[in-house]
Structure 1
């Protein structure tokens, strides 16, 4: 969770406390039909309010005119930190469609991923395995086939001139058994084929390579206007200059350890051979 996000959440909590006025937390919670702990957590910034929460708060506090202001604050938080719980209400397909818009708006895309093959390079079966596991984790709507189709549709952008994909994977991502061995083997064949594309520069960071930074969570940088960082609980959509600059430096330092071309091909082929052995 970003410091800016937490500061905004604390500021919202202070505003909620101000609106509550002299009413005790216990009485106010009773008005809303909430627990007192929820009131306390919202006021201290330890829990993120929803738009429904703050509208109810404004009414209970006798300040219905503040509902719009409070809702705008919450929506500002959500535009920066997009929880998977909220994003996946209708399944993975809407999330994929929203990402496609950002891909289409961009000409230079940079990615770092240490845990799995990035979506733009995934085969259908690999993507299906990933979506299934995340649906199970988040207990979300299972629209796997629609999500896979949306992801594969986006891959057409790989073949459009005027757009460049600079993608760096940690070698561990080539071995991650997030799918059955035959699916992983086919996925690695796909990566080998991608190496020759004019629009893609695929680098692999070997497991034993010296690293300027620990290989932490994956992210995408869309030109110099947006960075999307994926975490277990949420995506961070960062569009401020400081964050974009920071992730640009992170990408450059991780990319310095990557190998390309024939060297990358050998690492992928080695992982492919291991997947084939597991299949046999």
Structure 2
């Protein structure tokens, strides 16, 4: 089973803590001696090594200086910052509303050539109609008690989604069939969204696959994720957005995507699933 995104963040932090312990042992210092040299409480060294306290940049510099390896501080600080930026809490990202969050991804979308997108819960933002996006972002705003800037956020999301029709980007998108049936918004909103999927799947640079309820599962339903070229994988949790850039993590999500692709149907086999979902709206 793939490592969870939150576990990947913890693993990155654990790697840093283990490296700090190795540096201290190589220097022949006890935790208490290190603390004395750094000028902090004796228990702090232990807390850092046991992941009870996350070291600041200053802590890492002091640790390396105390152990006589000042040249390693820069790499440790860079690794620590990467681990911290992997896990971005939604409440922090969304505290001023949703518009800025939509805009924050524009540069990443514009420079990505190949998008691999898997969604198990809702239609991905790239494929949403304004009405569907409005219903979804309104629900998120209400659930998280955010400042209501839904109209501006929808406009920003639609602007961001222009990459699907502009430039030389390519899109491989996988949806679980349940998404076609989960009702976001009213009947008219869902009907419009499903019709839009039929239109988008005909675009030359878009490959849209649907994993049917009847698929023989080799890969189970997992959290929604996007892979941007080979550089990053963005994973959506209820509490946070996790951006993974470690090669092992991106490769793991690439493998998961390949397994899910093998379970999906395409083209002429997708249309009956979408039209059946439209008929179910009555």
TM-score normalised per structure 1: 0.78
Can you list the C-alpha shifts for 1:213-258, whole angstroms capped at 9, x where unaligned?
Answer: 1111111111111110000011110111111111111001001111
Show the counterpart of 2:170: 164
Q: Does 1:5 align with 2:9?
A: yes
C-alpha contact (below 8 Å) 2:210/2:266 kept by paired residues: yes
One of 253, 264, 271 as aligned partner of 1:265: 271
SS in 2 for 1:141: coil
1:75 deviates by 4.2
* Structure 1 pair 83–46 and aligned structure 2 pair: CA distance change class (3 A): farther
Which residue number in structure 2 is paired with residue 234 of structure 1? 240
Alpha-carbon shift at residue 94 of structure 1 (Å): 1.5
Measure the CA separation in 1 of the matches of 2:104 and 2:187. Answer: 31
Task: Tell me, yes or no, if the aligned pair for 1:84 and 1:138 is still in contact at 8 Å.
Answer: no
Runs of 4 or more consecutive aligned structure 1 residues displaced over 6 Å after TM superposition: 40-43, 69-74
- Matching residue of 1:131: 137
Equivalence map 1:18-33=2 (5 Å): 20-22=40-42
Change (3 A) 1:81 1:259: same
Deviation of 1:115 after TM superposition, in Å, equals 0.7
Is 1:80 the counterpart of 2:66? The answer is no
How far 1:22 sits from its partner (Å)? 4.3
* Aligned CA distance change for structure 1 residues 224 and 182 (closer, same or farther; 3 Å): same
After superposition, the C-alpha distances for 1:194-225 in whole angstroms (9 at most, x for unaligned) are 12111211111111101211111111111111
DSSP-derived class of the 1:211 partner: coil
Distance 1:46 1:262, change over 3 A: farther
**Residue 208 (str. 1) matches residue 208 (str. 2):** no
Structure 1 residues 77 and 143, CA, compared in 2 at 3 Å: closer, same or farther?
farther
Taking structure 2 as the reference length, the TM-score comes to 0.77
Distance 1:87 1:42 in 2: 27
Once residues 248 and 113 of structure 2 are traced to their aligned partners in structure 1, the CA distance between those partners, rounded to angstroms, is 21
Distance in 1, matches of 2:242 and 2:42, equals 36
TM-fit CA distance, 1:260:
1.0
3-state SS of 1:212 partner = coil
CA distance change for structure 1 residues 182 and 148 in 2, over 3 Å: closer, same or farther?
same
Number of aligned residues: 251
- In 1, Cα distance between equivalents of 2:80 and 2:131: 37
Change (3 A) 1:222 1:22: closer
Q: Which residue of 2 aligns with 1:175?
A: 181
Match of 2:259 in 1: 253
Query: What SS is found at the alignment partner of 1:214?
Result: coil
